[in-house]
Amino acid sequence: MQTDIIMPQLGESIAEGTIVTWLIAPGGRVEKDQSLLEVETDKVALEIPSPSSGFLTEVLIPAGQTVPVGTLLARLNTEAPDAGVVSRVGGVVVRQMDRSPAEENHYSPAVKQLAKEHGVDLSHITGSGGGGRITKKDVLDYVAQESAKTVTRPVEIEQPEAAAQREQVVPLTAMRKMIAERMIKSRQTSAHVATVFEADFSAVAKVRAGRTLTYLPFVIHAVARAIRDVPILNSSWGEAGIIEKRDIHIGVAVALEEGLLVPVVKHADRKPLTQLGQEVADLAERARSKRLQPEEVQGGTFTITNHGGFGSLFSTPIIHQPQIAILGVGAVQKRAVVINEAIAIRPMSYLSLSFDHRVIDGATADRFMKKVKSYLETSEWEQVL
């Protein structure tokens, strides 16, 4: 029995996808629901499970190619191939009659390029990726380890060729290209302006004590409440007018090795803190393991980026189109502040709002931020757990 593998519809607005890598070597066996290939779109990177058990007998589209939704990518067969795997690329049929164990390995173009630049034999590296595949980080770690073993040699006069080897070109992934295009487009589209407030997280820290909640659910809750008070922040620009969204769907930026994804917490204003904390943790974990569904990164109406998790104090993030604002949350640090004419130590954080000046003015942005600050500092958090 034969099963066709096609490029799936990965969201209503997604017309094509890029094959990052085949996770099963040609001719290899795959079980039903086991990850078969990794695909990137302009919105998400995820691993596609096999629809059935069988052998990958025919690969028509190699890794690195971008094809429309519905394209036939490969075929599975319930029986093992007798005469090797058929691979059609560019109209040419190639039959691999006798595959050696080395040929079973599949390396992404980026990994092979990196190995070539550093003169690395990939068979000496143990992969940490899905199915044991080798990632760029594995190659760089191996290079670093080998360099540390090298005995120091006398200084020699550097030749031009040696100087050129100090540079390398890191191939752009589909996700990196798309992020670059979207950031430039956002800057060209919106009139970016930023405002910064400082918030006292003492009330939040008190409720967090003894619980597994991070600061982020509290910020999401405060932002959702502030949006209800200042609904223009939950809008987008339209040629016929400003489009205010009634549903509050808050995107949360998640840093990946190769870029950023923004999974969305739907109806964030209707959920208690514990549920917000669980959803954020789940979305972030699945974003990093490339198990998000396309609909989980769509429909956001406002975005929060928690850059403080890396120690950053404040930033001016770029608006996630077509939204009109994005909130940056800086690191929560104990600082000396003046309270009632006395110096006190409080856990403080800078909150920065990048907003589209076409839609709102500074006074509206500051009114919104004042609400966020107030809710963080004065809310009866025990009542919304």
Please identify every residue annotated as catalytic: 357, 361
Tell me how far the alpha carbon of residue 351 is from its chain's centroid: 22
Q: Which amino acid is at 131?
A: G
3-state secondary structure (DSSP) of residue 359: coil
Q: What is d(CA 193, CA 204) in angstroms, rounded to the nearest whole number?
A: 28
Within a 10 A sphere around the Cβ of 161, how many other Cβ atoms? 7
Q: What is d(CA 362, CA 384) in angstroms, rounded to the nearest whole number?
A: 31
Q: What is d(CA 50, CA 48) in angstroms, rounded to the nearest whole number?
A: 7
Q: Contact 55/190 with Cβ under 8 angstroms?
A: no
Strand 325-329, strand 235-238: pairing? unpaired
Q: What is d(CA 192, CA 59) in angstroms, rounded to the nearest whole number?
A: 46
Q: Is 165 exposed, middle or buried (0-12, 13-18, 19+ CB in 10 A)?
A: exposed
**Cβ-count burial 335-362 (b if 16+ within 10 Å, e if not):** eeeeeeeeeeebbbbbbbbbbbeebbee
Q: What is d(CA 56, CA 3) in angstroms, rounded to the nearest whole number?
A: 10
Q: Contact 258/244 with Cβ under 8 angstroms?
A: no
Q: What is d(CA 251, CA 319) in angstroms, rounded to the nearest whole number?
A: 12
Q: What is d(CA 347, CA 331) in angstroms, rounded to the nearest whole number?
A: 10
Containing H/E element for 349? strand 342-356
